[in-house]
Amino acid sequence: MATDIKPIVSFEESFDKLDIRVGRIIEVELETRTHKPTYKMVVDFGKYGKRVSFGRFTQHPIEEVKDRLVLGVLNFEPKKMETVVSEVLVIGVQYPKAESGEAAFVSPAANAKIGSKLF
């Protein structure tokens, strides 16, 4: 068993408090005001609105990012990243063989409804 697993927490005190929903990236561009390559993404969460996210998903070509379904945490406080502010955390994992911080998207396997909740 791995030794770096975090302590056990209850569902009600952790996962249940997060509002993670499906969104569609409707706009994407390379952000040049950050220290490392970053995408500025506008994500549409349907009735939950459109939010701006900045993320290091730049191993994915822009044409693969636009219109992609993603999972986003809607109820985190906005996060300042140098000179920009990310309004939503788009969930990702380490991109294979990329430098630390480069992310690959975590996306629904099916064409899920925009705004639907992760459970």
CATH number at residue 30: 2.40.50.140
pTM beyond cutoff 0.75 = yes
pLDDT of residue 103: 95
Residue 33 lies in a domain: yes
Tens digit of each residue's pLDDT (9 = 90 or more) over 35-83: 899 999 999 999 999 999 999 999 999 999 999 999 999 999 999 988 9
How many folded domains does the chain comprise?
Answer: 1
Residue 86 lies in a domain: yes
Question: 43 exposed, middle or buried (CB, 10 Å; 0-12, 13-18, 19+)?
Answer: buried
- Match 């992760």 to its residue by tokens: 118
What gap in Å lies between CA 115 and CA 12, rounded to an integer? 21
Length of the chain: 119
- In which domain, by residue range, is 23 found? 18-105
Tens digit of each residue's pLDDT (9 = 90 or more) over 12-39: 988 999 999 999 999 999 999 988 999 9
What gap in Å lies between CA 33 and CA 37, rounded to an integer? 9
Residue 6 lies in a domain: no
Q: Output the CA–CA distances (angstroms, integers) from residue 87 to 6, 52, 61, 78, 82, in the order listed.
A: 26, 5, 22, 5, 14
